[in-house]
Structures are given as structure tokens and as C-alpha cells.
Structure 1
């Protein structure tokens, strides 16, 4: 690592005002045969926990030969409570868990977890990154959420809980019972982190300039197609789209399609490295 990169990773503020430690839930799945492939660290969005990836994607990823891990950000899932958590604390969680993995990891962030991953990339030299249905804190996305779900979105703007309905998160291909069951498991992010989602500074450049894939659905009722395009353009590409799917691609009826596309992309990237 060059001297030019060190100041971006270790800052005086990190020493003067360290992030408080927190108990972190990390779920994992290992491939049957270890082939030295990079591990994937899945980072859920606000209100979601590691369980959202453990439902399908962890085992599927391991079945294709990639070690798979899913982190519950502090205050989410089985991690310790953290009602005053910030984006900085969430990024710290990702950086710390990734640094403890056996090899340089691929960071995969979903929803607001994609923004957390972008902040973590300024601290951790990831092998690659994937932004799934990314909520990156722009006002256009907020306007879409307010238009489609004013009752559930408006409280979050003033420090309350963001409430997303099951029909915002999933396509109608997912059985109603499954959609309601998944939605009932959602929690809430720290109120400070929710507000910072709208008021944060742009993430600093990623360490090492890793390749970044952006994917989502043009039928997502949380992230509009234009937001997907903007996110992909930031990284010099176009979004990979899965029509007919909802926001929570990892739980929706056709969950295999996006994770297979991610793993295909990583295999090609490895082959060309």
C-alpha cells in the first residue's frame, strides 16, 4: 500500500474519537472445497439484518465456490443495540469485519448498505464492490419514497422510523405470505444514521480503485431507475437490470438471477486479473 493511500485509511479523528465497540452478528457459509476465491461480505440495508442474505444468497454463493459472510450492522439483526449509530459507525463495522476475513474481500451492499459500503471503501482495500439496489442518499430517491409511501417515509425525515410495505420491497411473484413474513422481520436504523443518509458528505475515493458493479430492478418501488443509472455512472458503467423484481432482490421470487450475475461478474474479473 502506498504512502499516498495511508492518510485516507488512518485519520487523526479515528484515534481522537474512536467508534464505540459493538457486538456484531456475522453469518457465514463455506464452500465444500476451498479454492482460494475471494470472500464476499454482504452488508444489508437499513432495517435489514444478516438473515436477509442467509435466506438464499449465502449458501448459493458458497455452492459456487466463494466463501460468504453477512454482517448485521450495529442495532440490526442479532448485533448489539445502537440507537444512536451513525454512518461512520456502520462503515466501521464493515471495515472491521472485512479486515478480519482470511483474504481480501468483495463488499456487497444492499439498499442503504450500499452507501455504507461506499464509505467503507475509503478505509478498506476491497477486491471489488457490488451495489445492489443502492440507496445513496439523494433527494430524488427521497422524493420517490415520499410520493409512493408518504405515511411510511415522512416520519423518517423527522427522526422517526422508516416503514416500508411488503409491496414496496417485493414483486407480486413472491407469495403474499412470504412477503409479509419478511417485512415483519424488518427493524429500524439509528435515527442519526437515517438523517445522515440525506445529509451526508459524498464518500471519499475508494482505496485502490476497485471495480464496482451496480445492479437493481427498473421496477424497484424504492430506488427509481434514474438513481440506478446515476450510481453506475459514478463508477464508469451502466447498471445491470432485472425487470420485474422488487427492491429486496435477495429475497424476491427470482433471487437466483442477481446473485448468479454477481458471481459470473466476479469470475470474469478474476480470470482477467
Structure 2
């Protein structure tokens, strides 16, 4: 139990405000013995990014599949002053509402949110997709790669990243424009600042297996993949040639099938 906090007095006394949460789902055909998989969309994105391909693919493979939008994102309720703690609360509340112990899958900055939620929710397993764990170094790197999209975020405005940082050149331009048009809402300025300066996530409850997935060509998270995977005692599962948004890229099927293959292994 070392490193695990059992009592969180501040969180008990001052819980985040309730908010409407968008949760999409896909149900396998026939009885499903597999654990439910909860996908958590990253900052500036909503549950739709998983509903595009990964949600149905997960259900086809026999896993009850769910995708959620954090507060202030997608079709979830607005939350202009949300904190990382509020996002963690959203994930743990949705996970706890599922019929069985869930696998948590977080993308981008929501990989950090999922990592923080693992200290509060006893997940069956977790997958961190293109994880953005933040920090001062990552912030300066983002400024160098995308100054026009990153500088407004320093003043509380939404983070805006160009197509070349999110998707590979294999994605048709029409699809990329359609995806860009669907992005609405985003992380609060407060949460964006907390992403730069936050404590390391606490140890997961129950020591669940954790898989890190990403692309070495991801210009947002690629450099950090090995470090995040090392934190959880493994090596990253890499998909060269893909962008940050693996679930929307042209070869989207490769990473989700690899994730589901990993979950199918005995002991996961």
C-alpha cells in the first residue's frame, strides 16, 4: 500500500461541481465476457474521435466499448474553470458507473488524466495512447513546434494545433478538414497551466498492467513515449509513420487491434 492515499480530505470536502457528461457506446453482438473499455478523449477533442473507428472495432472484437468527453469538451457540459482534478473526477465517475471493472484508455493529455485516475479507480488495465504528461520541457517544445497554436494557450485560450502535428500525410485532406470542423470546446486555461506544472501521478491502485502506445513520428508526444513507458515498467508499442491522433489516422486499425490483442492475453 506504499504511496497510495486512502483518505483525500480535500476532495471529499470539496468535490468538483456536477456536470453533464457525454458518453457514447458500442455493444458487442451476443454475450460479452470481456471487460468494458472506456476511451477518454484528449484536450480539445470529444468522444467522437473514438466513435469514428475505434469504438465499433472494439465492440466487433467482443469488448463492450465506451467513449467519453471530459467536461467542457465535445457534448459534455461547459466548465470554464475546470481543473485536472475535475477531469479525473469525470473519468472515475464514468468508470464506476460501468457494469464491470473497466479498462481505461486515455489519449494525449487525457493519458495523464487516466494515469491520475488510476490512483482512485481500480482499473482492470490501462492504455496510454500518445501520452502528453506535460511539464516545463514539453511546454517549451510545443512552443518551438507550434508557436501560433501554443502561445494563445498560455493566456487561457484553447490550444490550436495544425493538421501536420495531429495526422499523417496519408489522411485525405477532406477527412482532415472534417475532423477539424468537429473539434469544439477544450481544456480550461487553468487545466492547461496545470498540465505544465503538476505533481507526478500517484501509484495506481491494485497495480494494473499499463500499456503505452504511440508513434515515434508523433511530433507532440513521440519524444516522451519511452520515458512514460519506463515509468510503468515496460517499453512503448510503436507505430512509425502515424501522427498524434492514431485513432483518426489512415492506418487506425493497426494500433487498436494491437491494443485489443494485448487485452486478450491471459492475465490482462
Tell me which of 8, 20, 37 is aligned to 2:5.
8
Tell me, yes or no, if the aligned pair for 1:58 and 1:69 is still in contact at 8 Å.
Answer: yes
Cα shift at 1:9:
4.8
**Contact 1:130–1:212 (CA under 8 A) maintained in structure 2:** yes
TM-score after normalising by structure 2: 0.96
For 2:255 and 2:98, the matched residues in 1 are separated by 24
Q: Secondary structure at the match of 1:8?
A: coil
**1:10: Cα distance to partner?**
4.3
1:21 aligns with 2:18: yes
Match of 1:204 among 190, 202, 205: 202
Report how many residues are paired. Answer: 267
Cα distance in 2 between the residues matched to 1:143 and 1:15: 35
Q: CA deviation at 1:85?
A: 0.6
Matched residue, 1:245:
242
Does residue 60 of structure 1 match 2:57? yes
* Alpha-carbon offset, residue 141 of structure 1: 2.3
Equivalence for 1:224: 222
The residue that corresponds to 2:115 in the other structure is 118
CA distance in 2, matches of 1:28, 1:87: 24
Give the structure 1 partner of residue 87 of structure 2: 90
Q: Is the 8 A contact 1:144 1:224 kept in 2?
A: no
Alignment match, 2:153: 156
- In structure 1, the partner of 2:140 is 143
The 2-side partners of 1:87 and 1:111 are apart by: 14
| Per-residue deviation, 1:160 | 2.0
Unaligned runs of 5+ in 1: none
Aligned-residue CA RMSD in angstroms? 1.5
Q: Deviations over 1:100-135 (max 9, x none)?
A: 101100000000010000111110000000000000
Per the normalisation by structure 1, the TM-score is 0.94
Structure 1 counterpart of 2:257: 260
Please give the per-residue CA displacement for 1:204-257, whole angstroms capped at 9, x wherever unaligned.
1110111000010011121133x0010000001111100000000000100000
Return 5+ residue gaps in structure 2 as ranges. Answer: none
1:37 aligns with 2:53: no
2:97 aligned with 1:100: yes
* Cα separation, 1, equivalents of 2:85 and 2:206: 20
What are the superposed Cα offsets for residues 19-63 of structure 1, whole Å, 9 maximum, x if unpaired? 110000000001002231100000011001000000000000000
Runs of 4+ with deviation above 6 angstroms: none
Give the distance between the partners of 1:133 and 1:246, measured in 2 at CA: 9
* 1:203 Cα offset (Å): 1.2
Quick check: 259-268 or 159-168, which moved more? 159-168
Which of 179, 188, 191 pairs up with 1:193? Answer: 191
Q: Give the whole-Å Cα distance in 2 for the aligned partners of 1:147 and 1:247.
A: 17
Structure 2: distance between partners of 1:113 and 1:92? 12
Give the equivalent residue in structure 1 for 2:167. Answer: 170
